[in-house]
Amino acid sequence: MISDYMARLDDHVKFLHATRQPPFSIHFHLHQGCEIYFLIRGDVNYFVDKAVYPLQHGDLVITNEHEIHKPALTTDAVYERVTIEFDPALIALFQTADMNLLQCFYDRPIGEHNIIKLSEHDQTALSALFAKYADLQKQPFPEAPLLKLGCLLEILVLVQRCFHKNKEKESRLDLPPQLSPILAYLDQHLAEDLSLERLEGLFFISRFHLSRLFKKHTGSTIHEYILYKRIALAKTLLREGRSVTEASMDAGFNDYSGFLRVFKKKVGLLPRQYAKQHQTTAPK
């Protein structure tokens, strides 16, 4: 099993250190596995599910494949970050009764405790490990995948320790009082009609004002948010063993062929492929 991962490690672990100059927009998205996000430069509010985290330089954000998320840039300052996306099934191979490096990614409610405030010492240690991984990416020798995996495990050990050490230091931005009940409603009624017209009638708010308000505070549209929430729910249902048809209907996709098309586009796999792959490899 481990040899299969080692032969294609870069397909299962995607490391990126990137710098960009705003303005540009980043949409809501989901990953196939877990993500570590480390902010180096930039002014960012990070949106995960219904939470908005104001980030400072050196903050860490962790998400799993069920959490829709996006960074929203609040100024035109240079934006630099490191991200690592990885397949949790690979890391689960190293799980023991006393060690679970995926705990901080899954053993918490969706959209809660995503931000990790790092001490200066931990920022330095993590930055050194990121630099080590980046350097290994440039090395073509046969042992490089093994060394990259070892470096990733070191990173995950440090992330896990920092998560438990700093769990109570989480800070969030409060969403406008008009938005909070609407997001809570969306969460509980994803299988129903969630058109702007219906939300307008339910919450006595102009659909135009709602659209502007949502865009202002998240940088994206409410339609996009609902779409990714429904995909996240469909992924959960498929992992639990529901049929593709059931997952489609229960997640609010009334057009079956449309569901297949958008799921493949956003997740990278057809729902049946996703179910087959993840029902057997989902971390516990």
pLDDT above 60 (res 64): yes
Q: Show the 3-state SS of 141-196.
A: CCCHHHHHHHHHHHHHHHHHHHHHHCHHHCCCECCCCCCHHHHHHHHHCCCCCCCH
User: What is the Cα–Cα distance from 98 to 105, expressed in whole angstroms?
Assistant: 17
User: What is the Cα–Cα distance from 198 to 39, expressed in whole angstroms?
Assistant: 38
User: What is the Cα–Cα distance from 225 to 204, expressed in whole angstroms?
Assistant: 20
Return the SS3 of 62. Answer: strand
Q: What is the pLDDT of residue 281?
A: 52
Q: For residues 203-212, give the mean pLDDT.
A: 94
Q: What is the pLDDT of residue 284?
A: 46
Note if the bond before 176 is cis, omega within 30 degrees.
no
Residue 75 to residues 40, 44, 91, 102, 191, Cα–Cα distance (Å):
15, 8, 36, 33, 36
**Average pLDDT, rounded, for the chain:** 92
The pLDDT tens digits for 14-25 are 999 999 999 988
User: What is the Cα–Cα distance from 224 to 26, expressed in whole angstroms?
Assistant: 12
% of the chain surpassing 70 pLDDT = 96
Q: Where are the alpha helices (DSSP H) in the chain?
A: 2-7, 9-12, 88-92, 103-106, 120-137, 144-165, 180-188, 196-203, 207-218, 222-239, 244-250, 256-267, 271-278
Q: Kindly give, in sequence order, each residue whose CB lies less than 8 Å from that of residue 92, ignoring residues fewer than 6 positions away.
A: 102, 281, 283, 284
89: confidence class by pLDDT, cuts 50, 70, 90: very high
Torsion angle, alpha carbons of 111, 117, 122, 123, to 10: 90
Domains within the chain, CATH numbers bracketed: 2-166 (2.60.120.280), 178-280 (1.10.10.60)
Please list the residues that pair with 48 across neighbouring strands. Answer: 51, 69
108: confidence class by pLDDT, cuts 50, 70, 90: very high
Which of 21-25, 102-106, 198-202 comes out lowest in average pLDDT?
21-25
Task: Note the pTM of the prediction, 2 decimals.
Answer: 0.85
CB 77 within 8 A of CB 88: no
Q: What is the pLDDT of residue 176?
A: 85
